[in-house]
Structure 1
Amino acid sequence: MKYQIKASSISNQDAVVHIKQSKIDFGTTAAASETLPNPAELFLGSFAACMLKNVERFSEMLKFTYTKATLEVSATRLENPPRMDNIIYTLSIYSEDQKVNADLLKKNLEKFGTIYNTVKLSCAISGTVNVIQGV
């Protein structure tokens, strides 16, 4: 499987990533630092997207239902050389289904996630998966 995206920017303006029929604006200027995602945040967004896509995938494989999933991701940026380190995530699965096995789901997310496995080669990752019932 191969992937392809396009991105562009104009001098002294912000940039955009074009993926299929989607357009994602991101900040490359100081003026946008509080309003648009920066490249590091897009990176973490890709990590989160991979995990949430796999929640959907594994809900079918592990035969459980859920109403929603939320994910919080944080990371530390190291200075020399500049890189991301110590990614920490908290995944919450909202479900009335008693068959949700949080430990097995976490194991599968960490074993089969494309972005997860790419990132873990260069960065420490830790996280928790919580099942929230009765909501």
Structure 2
Amino acid sequence: MEYQIKATSVSNKDATLHIKQSDIAFGTTSNSAELLPNPAELFLGAFASCMLKNVERFAATLKFTYLKAKVNVSATRVEKPLKMDDINYTLTIYSSDDNLNIPLLKKNIEKFGTIYNTVKLSCNINGVIVQNKTV
């Protein structure tokens, strides 16, 4: 598979990702720092998106149902060398299904997640998956 996106920016203004039929604004100036996602947050968003896509994918494979899933992701920026490190996540699956096998789901997300596997080559990832049966 191959992927392609486009992005544009205007001097002293902000930027936009153009992906399929979506435009996603992001900040490149100090004026938008509190309003728009920055590149580091978009990076973490891609990581979270990968996890949620795989919950949907593995729900069918592992034969469990869920109402919704939510992931909280945080990371630390290291100064030398300048990079993201120590990504931590909590993935909550809202499901009363007893077929939900958390250890197997976690193993599959960690083994088959494209973005997850790309990121783990460059930084530490720690996370937990929890089931919330009260929906």
Normalized against structure 2, the TM-score is what?
0.99
Please give the alpha-carbon distance, in whole angstroms, between the structure 2 residues aligned to 1:104 and 1:50: 17
* SS of structure 1 residue aligned to 2:99: coil
The residue number in structure 2 matching 1:95 is 95
5+ residue gaps, structure 1, are none
**How many percent identity over aligned positions?**
67
Please give the alpha-carbon distance, in whole angstroms, between the structure 1 residues aligned to 2:16 and 2:123: 26
Trace 1:15-94 onto structure 2 (pairs within 5 A).
15-94=15-94
Paired residues in the alignment total: 135
Residue type matched to 1:133 in 2?
Answer: K
Residue type matched to 2:18 in 1?
Answer: H
5+ residue gaps, structure 2, are none
* SS of structure 2 residue aligned to 1:128: strand
* SS of structure 1 residue aligned to 2:56: helix
* Deviation at residue 82 of structure 1 after TM alignment: 1.1
Residue type matched to 2:71 in 1?
Answer: L
CA displacement 1:81-121 (0-9 Å, x = unmatched):
21000000000000011110111100000000000000000
Cα RMSD of the aligned pairs, angstroms, is: 0.5
* Deviation at residue 122 of structure 1 after TM alignment: 0.5
Please give the alpha-carbon distance, in whole angstroms, between the structure 2 residues aligned to 1:11 and 1:78: 28
Aligned: 1:131 with 2:131: yes
* SS of structure 2 residue aligned to 1:64: coil
* SS of structure 1 residue aligned to 2:76: strand
* SS of structure 1 residue aligned to 2:31: helix
Normalized against structure 1, the TM-score is what?
0.99
Please give the alpha-carbon distance, in whole angstroms, between the structure 1 residues aligned to 2:36 and 2:112: 30
